[in-house]
Structure 1
Amino acid sequence: MDEKNVIKLSPLRPVVGKAIITIIVIALAALIAFQSFTIISAGHRGVVLQLGAVQPKVLDEGLHFKIPFIQTVIPMEVRVQKSETSQTSASRDLQTVSTTIAVNHHLDANNVNKLYQQVGFEYGSRIVDPAIAEALKAVTAQYTAEELVSKRSEVSTKVKEVLAQKLSAYHIILDEINIREFMFSEEFNRAIEAKQVAEQQALKSKLDLERIKIEKEQEITKAQAQAEALRLQKQEVTPELIQLRQIEAQLEAIRRWDGKLPNVTGGATPFIQVENK
């Protein structure tokens, strides 16, 4: 009975073997086809590795052919990236300066293969962060603590120039930086506050002194004008002017007289002079 079953099943073995081989071939073909193409997403570039060696060609966005099992494509993001770090440095007058700086940068799309070959994926911690620290320290050492506050825009421009130069050596392009407020020690802050108060008081005293000086000059000018007016009036006084003023005074008295003689007896009429002609 067993021998008959073996005889009956033996013709099926070649068919099964062929089916398995066919499936394997199809699977290998599908795998090869899948490995022959790669897609580069938007905002990325492809670094081609051929048996581990970086190739000079950089793949743009889209669908690309590659040699299966021989070439590997590494995607590298070329969109703007942000690095934000807190840094501590020293000013020219040896004051400790703390600040937070935010840096926007992106990879040079045409040279991502060189960056990958030199640095790899960890370019942020290996290149960008150390370059930020070095640039900030190099620039803040050129200014006093007070100048870092008063010339913040100038400091930011210099940091950007130094940092851009450092990053460009590794095919990283600097877009923009943002330096937040500089922070100093409590002792320095108190010293700055005291100096500002003293400067304000000195300015107030100076303004008060200038005001007093102006008022004094105004009084002197006014007194000089009054003295000059009196001198001119004295020069213009003549006997005829005195007589005219007397006549005007008598006429004013007559105009105001109510027709009644004064009750006081004795003496002459106070304001009427009669001359015989």
Structure 2
Amino acid sequence: MNTQSPNSWQPLLGGIVAALIVLLGFNSFVILNPGQAGVLSILGKAQDGVLLEGIHLRPPLVSNVDVYDLTVQKFEVPAESSTKDLQDLKASFAINFRLDPIQVVEIRRTQGTLQNIVSKIIAPQTQESFKIAAARRTVEEAITKRDELKEDFDNALSDRLDKYGILILDTSVVDLSFSPEFARAVEEKQIAEQKSQRAVYVAREAEQQAQADINRAKGKAEAQRLLAETLRAQGGELVLQKEAIEAWREGGAQMPKVLVTGGDSQGGVPFLFNLGNMD
């Protein structure tokens, strides 16, 4: 019976030792890329001092490094509130933020993962900030003055999240909606305003037409006055007689056979009659 030599275990043992050395070597350092920060934890306890980009040594097997993304993060968060006139107002905000690298260790100790930061801090603080901004104005003002609503919201949210190490870079109102009752009220108001504007337009048009008629009447009266003065000044009786004859002719009636005028030179319009009708 053959027995295995003790020397035959040496290669196997050497391989195991080499594997352990390689494993320990890989677990003895961590590489952080630009835009990342790490928090070293030994036996589950977060250590002071944030790890920034580069290579960092760590105790093998008993340590862990939580990596946080320091680049801009974007999440859409819904919110709901009541306005100053007790109308329901709903909104959805797109929030751009990033973590303060100086406070990453405290974030790790108090909040943990990025998902926890969004669900436990950003979402509820968004809700509270929206309540503050919406309560300062009516629902109509919230719609017509959206920029002011957003400004109040941004200020309130930044103040609330700054103490958590969350830096707000920008927010935008993705959606802003109100109750169906208010939507009907807005529609009815718009219809009433359109009718009122139409009535004002009609009234102004009638006023302008009346003024135009007055101006035309004044112009006609003035023209007649000037004509009368001209006729009186330039012997207009003859002109009037001539116009009477022409008017008679243009009217289509039979011309009279006898024309009688006044005896004096200042006579008026000739008196016309047909002797044939005197039979």
List per-residue Cα deviations over 1:204-224 (Å, max 9, x = no partner). 111111111122122212212
CA distance in 1, matches of 2:51, 2:108: 14
Q: Name the SS for the 1:59 alignment partner.
A: coil
1:200 aligns with 2:194: yes
TM-score of the pair, normalised by structure 1: 0.77
Q: Name the SS for the 1:180 alignment partner.
A: strand
Contact 1:89 1:96 in 2 (8 A): yes
In the alignment, which residue of structure 2 is the partner of 1:214?
208
In the alignment, which residue of structure 2 is the partner of 1:108?
100
List per-residue Cα deviations over 1:238-263 (Å, max 9, x = no partner). 3643266379x59xx9xxxxxxxxxx
Contact 2:230 2:236 in 1 (8 A): no
Amino acid at match of 1:178: S
The alpha-carbon deviation at position 107 of structure 1 amounts to 1.3
In the alignment, which residue of structure 2 is the partner of 1:231?
225
1:26 aligns with 2:18: yes
Amino acid at match of 1:176: D
**Residues 49-128 of structure 1 aligned to structure 2 (within 5 Å):** 49-69=41-61, 71-121=63-113, 122-128=116-122
CA distance in 1, matches of 2:257, 2:153: 106
Amino acid at match of 1:232: L
Contact 2:27 2:59 in 1 (8 A): yes
Contact 1:45 1:78 in 2 (8 A): yes
Q: CA RMSD in A?
A: 3.1
1:190 aligns with 2:177: no
Q: 1:84 to 1:246 in 2, by over 3 A?
A: closer
Contact 2:76 2:95 in 1 (8 A): yes
Contact 1:37 1:63 in 2 (8 A): yes
The alpha-carbon deviation at position 98 of structure 1 amounts to 2.1
Q: Name the SS for the 1:183 alignment partner.
A: strand
1:38 aligns with 2:33: no
In the alignment, which residue of structure 2 is the partner of 1:143?
137
Decide which moves more: 60-69 or 31-40: 60-69
What is the count of residue pairs matched by the alignment? 250
Contact 1:47 1:112 in 2 (8 A): yes
Amino acid at match of 2:47: Q
Q: Percent identical across equivalent pairs?
A: 29
CA distance in 2, matches of 1:89, 1:180: 16
CA distance in 2, matches of 1:267, 1:176: 103
Contact 2:97 2:169 in 1 (8 A): yes
The alpha-carbon deviation at position 137 of structure 1 amounts to 1.3
Contact 1:45 1:109 in 2 (8 A): yes
TM-score of the pair, normalised by structure 2: 0.76
CA distance in 1, matches of 2:152, 2:96: 16
